[in-house]
Amino acid sequence: GQNIDQPTEMTATEGAIVQINCTYQTSGFNGLFWYQQHAGEAPTFLSYNVLDGLEEKGRFSSFLSRSKGYSYLLLKELQMKDSASYLCAVIDSNYQLIWGAGTKLIIKP
Amino acid sequence: DTGVSQNPRHKITKRGQNVTFRCDPISEHNRLYWYRQTLGQGPEFLTYFQNEAQLEKSRLLSDRFSAERPKGSFSTLEIQRTEQGDSAMYLCASSSILGQKTPLRGANVLTFGAGSRLTVL
């Protein structure tokens, strides 16, 4: 079967750094997305990785290791508005998008 | 363009009634997706269209669910004889497969609407 694993919930402090991990077992791999979803709102695109390595975009960075079936999203200089769920999604060999259940990130002052 | 628009935003209905949701995608996007999401879960794929053609439908989708995109623009999702288990957020997303305009190596980035929340009593 296909599986995406993410921690259910994480807590971090404003101004700090947090790393949200995602491991996947899918039938093939054609890329990995990270989306942010605030409570009651739609998911919004954050990043896309298809090659190994780190992609940096402002305060957010995403890393991929295809051999390990592993990705992480790194959030720096945390702000209260970063409190949200972070969804990892993988494109499999059939170009289907397989979603994780999301990680709820709670930022404390 | 104001993004992907969905309505109604909220719908409360009694079990057994039919409901219909509408999605207006980003105008230049040729792909339209329907997902269902429950609390604490990721989006669950229901179906997708490329222009007016419905190319795929989830095997998890019962016959009570039907979606249309008659002119390749807006889409409707109808649920007949609703059940309490249908209570969820129904998300619509659109995308373009014109990869040459994206720096993401042709990745199909989805733009989601705000969703239609269904409560079945």
Place of tokens 């095997």: B59
| Residue of A48, A49, A52, A91 to mutate when probing chain B, most B C-beta within 10 A | A48
CB–CB contact B114 A41 (8 Å): yes
Q: Residue A92 pLDDT > 90, yes or no?
A: no
C-alpha angle with apex B77: B74 to B81, nearest 5 degrees? 155
Torsion sign (Cα): B48, B52, B53, B57: positive
Lowest mean pLDDT among A18-22, A58-62, A94-98, B104-108: B104-108
Confidence at residue B78, expressed as pLDDT on a 0 to 100 scale: 97
Question: What's phi and psi for B106, nearest 5 deg?
Answer: 80, 10
Q: Residue B101 pLDDT > 50, yes or no?
A: no
| Residue of B108, B109, B119 to mutate when probing chain A, most A C-beta within 10 A | B108
Cβ neighbours of A52 (radius 10 Å): 11
Residue-wise pLDDT for B50-83, tens only, equals: 888 998 888 877 899 999 998 889 999 999 999 9
- Would an 8 Å CB–CB cutoff place A100 in contact with chain B? yes
CB–CB contact B42 A96 (8 Å): no
Q: Which two tokens stand for residue A77?
A: 């200089």
* Rg (alpha carbons) of chain A, rounded to whole number: 13
Residue-wise pLDDT for A47-63, tens only, equals: 999 999 999 989 999 99
Q: How many angstroms separate the CA of residue A17 from the nearest CA in chain B? A: 23
Cβ neighbours of B14 (radius 10 Å): 8
Q: Residue B98 pLDDT > 70, yes or no?
A: no
Place of tokens 């989601």: B112
Max Cα separation, chain A? Answer: 43
Confidence at residue B102, expressed as pLDDT on a 0 to 100 scale: 41
DSSP code string of B30-63? -EEEEEEE-TTS--EEEEEEETTEEEEE-TT--T
As beta bridge partners, residue B48 has B33, B56
- Would an 8 Å CB–CB cutoff place A48 in contact with chain B? yes
Q: How far apart are CA A48 and CA B20, in angstroms?
A: 33
Confidence at residue A26, expressed as pLDDT on a 0 to 100 scale: 93
| Residue of B47, B92, B104, B119 to mutate when probing chain A, most A C-beta within 10 A | B104
Q: Residue B100 pLDDT > 60, yes or no?
A: no
* Cross-chain CB nearest to A31 (options B91, B107, B111): B107
Q: Residue B30 pLDDT > 60, yes or no?
A: yes
Contact B60, B88 (CB under 8 A): no
A-B Cβ pairs (cutoff 8 Å, strict) = 49
Confidence at residue B97, expressed as pLDDT on a 0 to 100 scale: 60
Q: Which residue has the higher pLDDT, B107 or A56?
A: A56
Q: How far apart are CA B29 and CA A66, in angstroms?
A: 30
- Would an 8 Å CB–CB cutoff place A102 in contact with chain B? yes
Nearest to B120 by CA among B8, B17, B39, B41: B17
Contact A100, B42 (CB under 8 A): yes
CB–CB contact B109 A33 (8 Å): yes
Contacts of B50 (CB under 8 A, 6+ apart): B30, B31, B97
Contact B82, B16 (CB under 8 A): yes
CB–CB contact B40 A44 (8 Å): no
